[in-house]
Structure 1
Amino acid sequence: MALLRALIGTARMLKHTRHLALGLPADDEMLLDAPDDRLAPALVAAGRDDYESAAQLLAATREEAAWESRDLYSRRLAAFARSRPDWFERWLADRPQDPDALLVKAELALARAWESPAYAELLRDAAPLIGAASAAGHPRDPVPWRLALDHARGTHASRGVFDALWQEATSRASHHYGCHTSAVQYLSAAWYGSHRECFDFAERAAEDALPGSLIHALPARAALAYLTGPGSSVPRARLDAAADRAIVLSAAYEAGDPYPAEVRNVLTYVLIRLERWQDALEQLRLIGAQATSFPWDRISDDPLGQFLELRDGVRLEVASATPLRARRTPGGH
């Protein structure tokens, strides 16, 4: 009987897996952290040691008060500067008081600090850079305060310090997704809170979020923190509700849209852990070629390889649950 079940499962997978690949890019078409149409030219120019395009891009986000884009672009430019620093060093040398260069400088310092076992000490040294970025930038810019919240987590800041920073951040942009995700991390059981506190915070924020805001996916971030961290159990219904809310948000955006890509990748991870295979497959179709390092880099040194492996696993799980042939209706042939 066990052999028969295995053979049936194999037959199902062979029959249905190719069909389930429809709408999914081939493995060699996938790109990790693919830039959008605004960021891509800046990265190409930086690769030629020309910082002007990056400077113009971040200046535009500041002038447009496009804080979510500013947060994403500053992180991506800092990541590029870690491996290709020449263009960024020229930017700082030519324009040492440029508020956008100072923001990337602070972002880069934090990213480098987090890589070290002595991150707490290195983060303390980075505090003046965050202050400089805040002082030089737009008074409504929340991105330096997202950095400050990350800094508070890494330097073991007290709840009082965190609360004060949170007030500063939300007074500038009450619905900034980046600041909210930093707060979720601080409040998680892996750091200074608990699963209950983390979920309570995320769910309240989602209830107050504007239509289409990525904050609607914040409970899914809390679910991710639970599924990848220590602590007491969370009711399954709460995890499913978090996933369901993020599914509704994801459906509001076009397939392959880079803007909700990280949210969709996080949601896919949560759905896989919840064994909601069909829902996970739908998110993989919506992700398209937009795989993101986070959250896969939390479980593998090869995030794209991990994404592709789990994508294949989801396809096989759905295939194994698909009947070999549709049941005939009464009177059918």
Structure 2
Amino acid sequence: MISDVNPFAFMQKARLARWVRTQFDPTEYGMVPFAMLDAGRAGPPTPARRVEEMQAVADAAWAGDWRTAASYVDRAGEEWAERWHRLEVLQEIAGHDDAWLDEWRRKDPDNGDAATLHAQLLVHRAWEIRGPGYVNQVSPERMQRFRQMLPAAMEAAQHAAELAPRDPGPWVVMITTARPLKYRGMQFNTLWEGLVERAPHHYSGHWQALQYWCAKWCGTDKQMMDFAERAVRNAPEGSPLAGIYLHALSELTERHGASAPVTTAKVKGILAEVARSLSHVPEDAEALPRLRHLLAYYLGENGDHAAALEQFRLIGPWCGAEPWTDKRDPVAAFQLARGIAAARTEDGKLPADAGSLARWGRTGG
């Protein structure tokens, strides 16, 4: 706390913002200094070893060697989250040049990974044609081409599922494609059951399903929130699955703005559960950094400033993620949010060498 009695509890937000700008020293609260903040990334860089491995796969593929890509995916075994991540890497590589994928499919037509990747690429290209934005922001011509491409993507994913019956990957592609195809609830649930039968806690699959159930697509706010709450309840230790709830809150905020029902006693309680669940997720989990940003934000919005402060300490210098990137100045928005968390946390200050400040270093690196 800045003093024994919190002087900010009754102050206007403008006065608190002024304190953050002129007096707030993040290092006193175990956070990195303002000068270290980096809006270019959501979290730490990918380890050099993984970057080198991915680059080697890309270079081999673009040189016509599809076998290196096949081996890259196959080494993930039945670690389905890692296997899906590797397929996403290959999708990005194929997005630049897919001649090697065509050759892979010709030489090994019964390979489920190649078939899944082909289906992924069809969906990705359809979305590239559609572009971002709501339906009323997309030209009729682009929307027509988008819809014409989707049935082929669904058919390709179904074929991949036949070739790789144990792999949840094709089912993630089907769930992704079902949304713009406007599958009815019973049709979608059949696909969902196929996914969870193979990988009940598949993070990417849950994220795609959340999009299906949101009001801007095929569901309602209630259906989306019910789905997200089940994800929190079902999340196993070490899984980022509970973070799906944070994406649901973000959807509500995007849809309803300041009137979004994201600051209630129920939400605050569930956020505490999400925080506990994410505390067991390995630090190198790909989804974790972005989830911490959302968690810190919504904890602060719900008045759990001590818990928000702890997330800001864990986040470190990175602020290139939602919700900060939705603002005109992400660094300023991030600095204000963590300053408010510090100001409104009892005993928030830490000794100079304590907390996560030592983890990030006082001068960078």
Asked if residue 216 in structure 1 is aligned to residue 242 in structure 2, the reply is yes
The alignment-based identity, stated in percent, is: 24
Q: Deviations over 1:18-41 (max 9, x none)?
A: 545735793459645744577423
Asked if residue 43 in structure 1 is aligned to residue 58 in structure 2, the reply is no
Report the Cα distance in structure 2 between the residues aligned to 1:175 and 1:156, rounded to whole angstroms. 24
Tell me the residue number matched to 1:285: 313
Report the Cα distance in structure 1 between the residues aligned to 2:318 and 2:342, rounded to whole angstroms. 23
Tell me the residue number matched to 1:26: 36
Contact 1:206/1:216 (8 A) holds in 2:
yes
**Which blocks of at least 5 consecutive residues in structure 2 are unaligned?**
1-10, 131-137, 350-365
Tell me the residue number matched to 2:197: 171
2:81 aligned to 44, 64, 68, which one? 68
2:100 aligned to 90, 99, 109, which one? 90
C-alpha displacement of 1:176: 2.0
Tell me the residue number matched to 1:331: none
**Structure 1 residues 236 and 70: alpha-carbon distance in aligned structure 2, compared to 1, 3 A threshold:** same
Residues 157-236 of structure 1 mapped to structure 2, 5 A cutoff: 157-230=183-256, 233=261, 236=264
Opposite residue 339 of structure 2, the aligned amino acid is L
Residues 297-316 of structure 1 mapped to structure 2, 5 A cutoff: 299=326, 306=330, 308-316=331-339
**Structure 1 residues 170 and 65: alpha-carbon distance in aligned structure 2, compared to 1, 3 A threshold:** same
Residues 243-322 of structure 1 mapped to structure 2, 5 A cutoff: 243-253=271-281, 255=283, 257-258=285-286, 260-271=288-299, 273-274=301-302, 276-288=304-316, 295=322, 299=326, 306=330, 308-318=331-341, 321=344
Opposite residue 125 of structure 1, the aligned amino acid is A
**Which blocks of at least 5 consecutive residues in structure 1 are unaligned?**
327-333
Tell me the residue number matched to 1:134: 161
Contact 1:220/1:267 (8 A) holds in 2:
yes
Local SS of the residue matching 1:229: helix
Q: Deviations over 1:247-293 (max 9, x none)?
A: 11222235565453343344245345546555344324324477776
**Structure 1 residues 264 and 319: alpha-carbon distance in aligned structure 2, compared to 1, 3 A threshold:** closer
2:70 aligned to 52, 55, 60, which one? 55
Q: 88-97 vs 238-247, which deviates more?
A: 88-97
Contact 2:39/2:318 (8 A) holds in 1:
no
**Structure 1 residues 15 and 218: alpha-carbon distance in aligned structure 2, compared to 1, 3 A threshold:** closer
Tell me the residue number matched to 2:182: 156
Contact 1:264/1:287 (8 A) holds in 2:
yes
Asked if residue 79 in structure 1 is aligned to residue 88 in structure 2, the reply is no
Asked if residue 10 in structure 1 is aligned to residue 19 in structure 2, the reply is yes
Asked if residue 122 in structure 1 is aligned to residue 132 in structure 2, the reply is no
Opposite residue 173 of structure 1, the aligned amino acid is A
Report the Cα distance in structure 2 between the residues aligned to 1:169 and 1:8, rounded to whole angstroms. 47
C-alpha displacement of 1:54: 3.7
Contact 2:246/2:295 (8 A) holds in 1:
yes
TM-score for the superposition, normalised by structure 1: 0.76
Contact 1:187/1:197 (8 A) holds in 2:
yes
Q: 48-57 vs 203-212, which deviates more?
A: 48-57
Tell me the residue number matched to 2:353: none
Report the Cα distance in structure 1 between the residues aligned to 2:244 and 2:38, rounded to whole angstroms. 31
TM-score for the superposition, normalised by structure 2: 0.70
Contact 1:141/1:172 (8 A) holds in 2:
yes
Q: 107-116 vs 71-80, which deviates more?
A: 71-80
Contact 1:12/1:319 (8 A) holds in 2:
no
C-alpha displacement of 1:155: 1.2
Contact 2:115/2:160 (8 A) holds in 1:
yes
Report the Cα distance in structure 1 between the residues aligned to 2:313 and 2:260, rounded to whole angstroms. 33
**Structure 1 residues 70 and 298: alpha-carbon distance in aligned structure 2, compared to 1, 3 A threshold:** farther
Q: 94-103 vs 67-76, which deviates more?
A: 94-103
Q: Tell me how large the CA RMSD over aligned residues is.
A: 3.9
Contact 1:153/1:191 (8 A) holds in 2:
yes
Asked if residue 237 in structure 1 is aligned to residue 265 in structure 2, the reply is yes
Q: 19-28 vs 70-79, which deviates more?
A: 19-28
**Structure 1 residues 180 and 8: alpha-carbon distance in aligned structure 2, compared to 1, 3 A threshold:** closer
Contact 2:67/2:104 (8 A) holds in 1:
no
Contact 1:255/1:285 (8 A) holds in 2:
no
Contact 1:13/1:320 (8 A) holds in 2:
no
**Structure 1 residues 75 and 291: alpha-carbon distance in aligned structure 2, compared to 1, 3 A threshold:** farther
Opposite residue 70 of structure 2, the aligned amino acid is A
